[in-house]
Chain A
Amino acid sequence: MIALKEDVPGYAAQFERRMSAGEPAWLRELRAGAMRSFSTLGFPTTHHEDWKYTNVSPVATTPFGEGPAAWPAAAPPAGPAAWPVNARLVFVNGHLSRELSAVRGLPAGVAVQSLAEAVRNGSTVLESHLGRHAGYSEQAFVALNTALAVDGAVVTIDSGVVLEQPVVLVYLTSPAGGPAASYPRTLVLAGRESRASVVEIYSGPDDSAYFTNAVTELVVREGAAVDHYRVQLEGRQAYHVATVQGVQDRAGILASHNFSFGAALARHDINSVLDAEGAECSLNGLYLAGGSQHVDNHTLLDHAKPNCASRELYKGILGGHGTGVFNGKIVVRQDAQKTNAIQSNKNLLLSRDAVINTKPQLEIFADDVRCTHGATVGQLDREALFYLRSRGIPVRDSRDLLTRAFAAELLDAIRWQPLRETLETELHRRLSQMVEAAAK
Chain B
Amino acid sequence: MSTASNIESLALREYKYGFTTDIEADTVPPGLSEDIIRLISAKKREPEFMLEWRLKAYRHWLTMKEPCWGNVHYPPIDYQKIVYYSGPKTKDRPKSLDEVDPKLLETYDKLGIPLREQEWLAGVAVDAVFDSVSVATTYRKELADQGIIFCSFSEAVREHPDLVQKYLGTVVPYTDNYFAALNSAVFSDGSFCYVPKGVHCPMELSTYFRINAQGTGQFERTLIIADEDSFVSYLEGCTAPIRDSNQLHAAVVELVAMDNAQIKYSTVQNWYPGDKEGRGGIYNFVTKRGKCLGVNSKISWTQLETGSAITGKYPSGLLMGDNSIGEFYSVAVTNNRQQADTGTKMIHIGRNTRSTIVSKGISAGQGQNTYRGMVKILKGAEGARNYSQCDSMLIGDRCGAHTFPYLEVKNSTAQVEHEASTSKIGEDQLFYCRQRGISNEDAVSMIINGFCKEVFRELPMEFAVEAQKLLSVSLEGSVG
Q: How distant is A200 from chain B, measured CB to nearest CB, in Å? A: 29
- Known: A359-B407, A373-B420. Is A350-B402 also a contact (CB below 8 A)? no
Please provide the chain A residues from 361 to 385 with a CB less than 8 Å away from any CB of chain B in the complex. Answer: 361-379
Which A residues are CB-close (under 8 A) to B399? 365, 367
Q: Which chain B residues lie closer than 8 Å to A376 at the CB level?
A: 415-418
Task: Assess the A369–B394 pair: CB atoms within 8 A.
Answer: yes
A369 to B237, CA, bound (A): 34
The answer, among B406, B407, B412, B423, for a CB contact under 8 Å with A354, is: B412
Of the candidates B397, B401, B403, the one whose C-beta lies within 8 Å of that of A335 is B397
How many positions in chain A have a CB within 8 Å of any CB in the partner chain? 36
A9 on interface, CB distance cutoff 8 Å: no
* Chain A proximity of B118: nearest CB distance (Å): 40
Q: Is the beta-carbon distance between A367 and B397 smaller than 8 angstroms?
A: yes
Cβ-based interface call for A168 (8 A): no
Question: Looking across the interface, which residue of chain A has its beta carbon closest to that of B416?
Answer: A377
Quick one: which of A360, A363, A366 contacts B394, CB cutoff 8 A? A366
Interface pair B417/A366, CB less than 8 Å apart: no
Among B272-307, those with CB < 8 Å from A are: none
Q: Cβ of B401: which chain A residues have Cβ within 8 Å of it?
A: 362, 364
Among residues 336 to 370 in chain A, which have CB atoms less than 8 Å away from a CB atom of chain B?
337, 347, 349-370
**Chain A 51-95 near chain B by CB (<8 Å), digits 1 or 0:** 000000000000000000000000000000000000000000000
Report how far A377 CA is from B412 CA in the complex, Å. Answer: 9
Residues of chain B with a CB closer than 8 A to A354's CB:
412
Q: Does A334 contact B (CB under 8 A)?
A: yes
Across the interface, name the chain B residue whose C-beta is closest to A370. B423
Determine which of A359, A361, A364 lies in contact with B392 in the assembled complex, contact meaning CB atoms within 8 Å.
A364
Neighbouring B residues of A364 by C-beta, 8 Å: 392, 394, 400-402, 422
Chain A proximity of B82: nearest CB distance (Å): 30
Question: Smallest CB–CB gap between A113 and chain B, Å?
Answer: 43
Contact A367–B405 (Cβ < 8 Å):
no
Contact between B424 and A368, CB atoms less than 8 A apart: yes
In angstroms, Cα B368 to Cα A363, docked, is 10
Q: A349-B412, A351-B412 are in contact. Are A377 and B407 (CB under 8 A)?
A: yes
The residue in A365, A374, A377, A379 that gathers the most chain B C-beta atoms within 10 A of its C-beta is A377
Report whether A359 and B405 are in contact in the complex, using a CB–CB cutoff of 8 Å: yes
Is B411 a contact of A368 with CB atoms below 8 Å?
A: no
B403 touches A362 (CB 8 A): yes
Q: Is the CB of B418 within 8 A of A374?
A: yes
Chain A contacts of B377 at CB under 8 A? 377
**CB proximity of B387 to chain A, nearest CB, Å:** 10
How far, in angstroms, from A363 to B392 measured CA to CA in the complex? Answer: 11
In the complex, which of the residues A49, A355, A367, A370 contacts B409, with contact meaning CB atoms closer than 8 Å?
Answer: A355
A356-B407, A364-B422, A370-B422 as given contacts; A375 in contact with B396, CB under 8 Å: no
For the complex, give the distance between the alpha carbons of A291 and B424 in Å: 45
Nearest A residue (CB) for B411 = A352
Please list the residues of chain B having a beta carbon within 8 angstroms of any beta carbon in chain A.
Answer: 69, 377, 379, 392, 394-424
Knowing that A374-B419, A375-B417 touch, tell me 15 more A-B residue pairs with CB under 8 angstroms: A49-B69, A349-B412, A349-B414, A352-B412, A359-B406, A360-B420, A363-B402, A364-B392, A364-B422, A366-B397, A367-B424, A371-B423, A376-B418, A377-B409, A377-B417
Closest 7 CB pairs of A and B: A367-B394, A349-B412, A377-B416, A375-B418, A372-B421, A371-B422, A362-B403
